[in-house]
Structure 1
């Protein structure tokens, strides 16, 4: 069983289902409204835990009702919460998600407590990191905190996985030099490298640029086409499973969390782990909501 530690965001999601996306200055009716657990970090942790990993979380919530709700949700997943701080002067992160009839989404996030911790708080939880097989982080929490977590991980021989979302056109060299694997989608890959990813050839070009930046393992997720990987002289597009998507929220998070649950730290089963992540992600897009849509290990049959 892999030990996975996620350093990341915790949000309470407010979801709206609509026929189509609203235009500027327009008012439309929603078909459905509901709340659910979210945040890229929390989604990835839930996906890893449900896929069988021993999962730990480092992050923060506010001392408010959404924070208590999110801690209860994560605890119910069997996730170790000893690394989550409750901050008295911050509100819990929130996300406002609109999903249309085509399954596309638009998301606005408010960071709140997710930006309320830094390198010192990470240092205080270093034992949670050094006891892991993988440490995963995203860009919904402070970069200095992520960099410190990855530095601690690499010094202990723990592999690091960076999900560069939301996209940033400038990623610090200090962070990239302690990143073992990077997992952008095609849009994020273009933001980082300047190379538009539309097929395997352009994905290879983007991967080469990311290698030049210092990252050994590159996985670029390309929506319904699948996931392209490039590592140690081998590259391939692993096709996605063909399904009818109703909500793409948390699809990428599910992929990363599920993949990390079965990936070997020496990356020798990288393609098989990607295939497992693809299958998990294909199930997520057939359901509504972020964490409610994430499948369990027994459902992910290859």
Structure 2
């Protein structure tokens, strides 16, 4: 396996080509269909909610929008259907500042959708129908290899087929492009080849515990286990308590930012998009995570996913962490 120095040399060898994009996100794009409820229903129960709200979402598109809104030069590789929801998603990305040239419009497919229920505390339950996301293939990745090579960081999630994620990770590794991997929705296990390119692996507490294979312990224990399994570095997000970072320099606890949570939908994606952007700019992992915590905190203060993502000016209104 290449050392960090060898990968850096390849990045340097690319010269000006490397600086076309800070972040390329390869992943999903969904229309979020959100209803707010007084309480989430139990099995077999019906509750009344608010009017349905349709917004742009999907973990890949969310991370791209978050990166672009804070000033990152960002592109998105995804598939959407040739329908009204596809048009909604493309318009939202353009408004955020994302280059959507790599996005594939599949006229024969339906755009992916996510059904979201939000309770008064801002917590949510989500069901995703993949639609066109399921048709993003390794061939699509191969066709975009020059875009991957021209990006400082590639950000990946697991709402598209696993073979496509593997292809994107391998293509990025071969090009010397740094890989940020957010393995969500979390699989039962994560194969070693994919884990080995994660720099960092970004997981929440539930995902960290599951993927580490440890039923007990702390976030630091889970991060250590994941690094022992092969991840180059690990970030465990802790909601309002901030994040924990583990890399070759050691462990760092990143404090949270205290805010009133309105809706947590997409907050983890805001964090990951911001983290990738700062890493592309040359920040250390703890520095990037501290900034990403602020972006994630700002995102929960407004409803929705992409509509809640802050600009640099918005972040200036938050207390320090």
Tell me the TM-score range normalised by the shorter chain: over 0.9
Distance apart, 1:144 and its partner CA = 1.1
Q: Where does residue 273 of structure 1 map in the other structure? A: 288
- 1:83-102 equivalences under 5 Å are 83-102=102-121
Q: Where does residue 299 of structure 2 map in the other structure? A: 284
Q: Flag as ranges the 4+ runs of structure 1 deviating above 4 A.
A: none
CA contact (8 A) 2:196 2:232 kept: no
Within 2, Cα distance between the matches of 1:46 and 1:254?
8
Within 1, Cα distance between the matches of 2:77 and 2:187?
22
Output the TM-score relative to the length of structure 2.
0.89
Distance apart, 1:78 and its partner CA = 2.1
Within 2, Cα distance between the matches of 1:260 and 1:170?
24
Q: Name the Cα RMSD after superposition.
A: 1.6
Q: Does 1:44 align with 2:59?
A: no
Q: Where does residue 249 of structure 1 map in the other structure? A: 265
Distance apart, 1:63 and its partner CA = 1.3
Within 1, Cα distance between the matches of 2:152 and 2:260?
34
Aligned length: 298
Q: Does 1:238 align with 2:238?
A: no
Within 2, Cα distance between the matches of 1:276 and 1:190?
24
User: Relative to structure 1, is the Cα distance of residues 178 and 132 closer, same or farther in structure 2, using a 3 angstrom cutoff?
Assistant: same
Provide structure 1 residue ranges, at least 5 long, that are not aligned to the other structure.
none
Provide structure 2 residue ranges, at least 5 long, that are not aligned to the other structure.
1-18
Secondary structure of the residue that 1:66 maps to in structure 2?
A: helix
Aligned counterpart for 1:214 among listed residues 203, 226, 230? 230
Secondary structure of the residue that 1:82 maps to in structure 2?
A: coil
Secondary structure of the residue that 1:15 maps to in structure 2?
A: strand
Aligned counterpart for 2:180 among listed residues 161, 167, 176? 161
Q: Where does residue 114 of structure 1 map in the other structure? A: 133
Moved more, 88-97 or 25-34: 25-34
Q: Where does residue 141 of structure 1 map in the other structure? A: 160
Distance apart, 1:109 and its partner CA = 0.4
Secondary structure of the residue that 1:236 maps to in structure 2?
A: strand
Q: Where does residue 13 of structure 2 map in the other structure? A: none
Secondary structure of the residue that 1:182 maps to in structure 2?
A: strand
Within 1, Cα distance between the matches of 2:193 and 2:91?
35
Secondary structure of the residue that 1:83 maps to in structure 2?
A: coil
Within 1, Cα distance between the matches of 2:193 and 2:163?
9
Q: Deviation string for 1:15-71 (max 9, x for gaps)?
A: 001111111111111134211100011000000001111001111001111112211
Q: Where does residue 297 of structure 1 map in the other structure? A: 312
Output the TM-score relative to the length of structure 1.
0.94
Distance apart, 1:272 and its partner CA = 1.9
Distance apart, 1:187 and its partner CA = 0.4
